[in-house]
Structure 1
Amino acid sequence: MTAILTIHGVNQFDPDRAPAEAAARLGAVWTTALNHGLTVPVEGADVRMVYYADLLQPTGPVSQGAEGDLDHMSPEAAEAARHWAELHGVDLDQAQGRVLTPVRWVADAVARRKGLDRDAVRGLVARFFPDLVAYLHSPATRDAVQTRLAEAIERESPSVLIAHSLGSVVAYDTLWRHGLKVDALISIGSPLAMPDIVFPHLQHTCTAGKGSRPQGAGAWVNIADPGDLVAIPQPLTERFDKVTTNIRTGIGAFSFHKAANYLRNKATADAVARYVS
């Protein structure tokens, strides 16, 4: 039986469930979404979710993703959001100067430039950057998250590792640091190439300024919506060598970063189907 391991992105903390229960619940959602595009349903495979959102909660169970979080971000998360806005062409000098520019203004400026719903972009910013900073800038948290994934890979021996958003950063780091093997790494909506914010902090020594497919990954398929505000810059291959396949495909004008939409997409189904038996 084919083993498929999945790892989620940001904003998946479930304060009402133990980690194992949260993993099972989220894994079921992912399995349903994957089955949407597959001609051979993944019920014939062993699909497991690696859940790590609980490890990103340094002060215990708290609600994430509320719009008000834009006003209470850590300095590191707020600075990352400002860098991100600049990558999207926002001139922070239009506001109060770089350091003083409110994150709410940053999110709204990106929404205007991209012609997107303001609240949707605010929600993305409020969810993405606190989780990203919690992983990248806390060594203890980063080690704990990677250990959880590494143990799952060693236990399940998956053929396929599907990683969404921040999960693709965790997967990349873990495969390199632990020397683990999978037949295929499938990254969806990945921010791995994001300069200043993500790329310089990856735990792999770059060659000529570029990262590379982890040695233990037999193949690396990267899938990104051209309008995904997190999967930037595109193509990923500008920053990484030995990416087996890089695919740009639309997953929905108003769902540009949602895992379920990536999982339902034909490109993801085709990539997974090669390994489902």
Structure 2
Amino acid sequence: MKRKLIFIHGRSQQFKDSIQLKAEWISAWKKGLKLNGLELPMEETDIAFPYYGQTLHDLVERSPEVAEIIIRGAEEDAAKKAFVRSVIEEIKKAKITDEQLETIVGSDVVERGPLNWPWVRGVLQAVDKYIPGGSGSSIALATNDVYQYLNSSGIRDSIESGVLKAISPGIETVVVSHSLGTVVAYNLLRREGESREWKVPLFVTLGSPLAVTAIKKALRPIGHPSCVSKWYNAMDPRDIVSLRPLDEDHFDISPSIENHLEVNNHTDNRHGIAGYLDDKQVAKRIYDALVA
């Protein structure tokens, strides 16, 4: 029986037509295949694309003030504030210098460190100022979405329902995921893969935040999903969402994950799916797994 392919998208996909969004993923993959002198190895209709973008938007509050509320730290419970603070602190360590932060909030706030919320706001403002294509408000919202997925069973169940239906027991399925979708896919493969008799010859994560400490802790114990034969991760080092590779230093599991860290993502924020799927090596790895 031929292998199947499933694409699992990330956040900020609300108000989009699911058919058009799937077409955009396929179009980007085709561009990457063309660089290898290849064409799609399957019919487009055979590619599964469970869409949860509108569901996520509808379940997580999305008023224009939400990002500002998160950034201010107002009206947030202690657990969420701790999660957001941890993520922002890690971004600061990886991408923002003390000198850059000081130009925004002053030396006193920098010295007091991440336990004071003005420091957190300052880092997000520094993302806007110093990271090309970076957006502090987008980081705040993305962090909130991941937190909601990890901590709200209602949101988690709604997001996962379509993915669960798209993977069939005993049928070899290549899973390609992006951004928040990598967290969703990993969590499902780890939790459900063995009991549901899933067979995943290749699990692909693109622009994945799984190595971010707060996310990794929420998913403990981490490990290689037993239903997955090989795991391939790709990232652009400039992608502030993925932040770190899934290597032995940041996501130490056995067997280890193959990392492709030389993606030149051409999208504005270095994180867009088009800039990953049209990468020559990424496109070829997906192709090879399907025709094996």
TM-score w.r.t. length of structure 2? 0.76
Q: Is the partner of 2:264 in helix, strand or coil?
A: coil
- In the other structure, the counterpart of 1:49 is 49
1:263 alignment partner AA = L
- Partners of 1:161 and 1:182 within 8 A in 2: yes
In the other structure, the counterpart of 2:189 is: 175
For 1:101 and 1:58, the matched residues in 2 are separated by 30
- Which whole-Å CA distance do the structure 1 matches of 2:61 and 2:88 have between them? 29
What's 1:190 paired with?
208
* 1:220 correspondence with 2:236: no
Larger radius of gyration: 2
Pair 1:230 & 2:241 matched: yes
Gaps of 5+ in 1: none
Aligned to 1:94: 110
Counterpart of 1:30?
25
Q: Is the 8 A contact 1:82 1:106 kept in 2?
A: no
- One of 67, 70, 79 as aligned partner of 1:70: 67
Secondary structure in 2 matching 1:120: coil
Structure 2 runs not aligned, ≥5 long: 102-108
CA distance in 2, matches of 1:276, 1:55: 30
Shift of 1:58: 5.2
Matches within 5 A, 1:121-136: 121-136=135-150
Summarize the Cα distance change of 1:107–1:99 in structure 2 as closer, same or farther, 3 Å threshold.
same
Question: Who is 1:149 aligned against?
Answer: 163
8 Å contact from structure 2 (residues 3, 172) kept in 1: yes
Please state how far the C-alpha of 1:43 moved relative to its aligned partner: 6.4
CA distance in 2, matches of 1:127, 1:61: 10
Cα deviations by residue, 1:189-223 (Å, 9 ceiling, x for unpaired): 1111110x200111xx52xxxx2221101111011
Inter-partner Cα distance in structure 2 for 1:104 and 1:156:
48
TM-score by length of structure 1 reads 0.80
- Spell out, residue by residue over 1:158-181, the C-alpha distance to the aligned partner (whole angstroms, 9 max, x if none): 531100011011111101111232
> 1:201 maps to what in 2?
218
Identity %: 26
Partners of 2:164 and 2:223 in 1: CA distance: 19
CA distance in 1, matches of 2:179, 2:242: 8
Deviation at 1:4, TM superposition (A): 1.2
**Of the candidates 25, 31, 38, which is equivalent to residue 40 of structure 1?**
38
Does the 8 A contact of 2:211 with 2:242 survive in 1? yes
- Residue 131 of structure 2 is matched in structure 1 by 116
Which residue, out of 234, 248, 256, partners 1:243?
A: 256
Matched, 1:160 2:174: yes
C-alpha distance in 1, partners of 2:203/2:125? 34
Aligned residues: 258
Residue in 2 that maps onto 1:105: 122
